[in-house]
Amino acid sequence: MKMKKTTFITQGAVIAAIYVVLVFVFDYWSFGPIQFRVAEALTILPVFTPAAVPGLFIGCLIANITGGAVIWDIVFGSLATLIGAVGTYMLRKHPWAAPLPLLANTVIVPFVLKYAYGTEGMLWYFMLTVGLGEVIVCGVLGSLLRVALKKYRSTLFHE
């Protein structure tokens, strides 16, 4: 039992750390009205392990805090990733649909951009740009990551 708990915490911590590193390696695209947060591709990981759910949430939370986000972005941006990660975990038996819950970012983040940051522009435009970023990152890159990791599932994500 203790080994399972240790594995869960370790996997979550590693996922959180990788998320934060990816946000800052691709810093230019990670923040702002046109978002292409490469780290969001990791949101496919709940298909492989439930430890990815808190790992992604904590990684997003840390990235938003250290990236200088306003409190509303720290709270609601991180919650959007948590909602998406939980949804991905719930759809793990249907991997082709697993990226769909990340559309939570498409709905939540534009409100943060508009009202927390006061970014000039129309809400529908932010939904379009954030949504396109999510489709590319979660849908395309996340799905490619899922296919690549599928072969190593038992080695990387044993419980």
Mean pLDDT of 137-145: 92
Alpha carbon distance 157, 34 (integer Å):
33
Structure token pair of residue 6: 């240790």
pLDDT value, residue 159: 58
Indicate if the pLDDT at residue 6 is higher than 70.
Answer: yes
Give residue-wise pLDDT tens across range 31-81: 877 778 999 999 999 999 999 999 999 999 999 999 999 999 999 999 999
pLDDT value, residue 76: 96
Alpha carbon distance 132, 53 (integer Å):
23
The answer to whether 155 touches 3, Cβ cutoff 8 Å, is: no
pLDDT higher for 63 or 101? 63
- The count of other CB atoms within 10 Å of the CB of residue 25 is 11
The answer to whether 61 touches 74, Cβ cutoff 8 Å, is: yes
φ, ψ (nearest 5 deg) of residue 26: -105, 40
The answer to whether 90 touches 47, Cβ cutoff 8 Å, is: no
Please tell me the pTM assigned to this model. Answer: 0.92
Q: What is the 3-state secondary structure (H, E, C) of 21-35?
A: HHHHHCHHHHCCCCC
Structural Rg of the chain based on CA atoms:
15
Taking each continuous run of H as one helix and of E as one strand, the counts in the chain are 8, 0
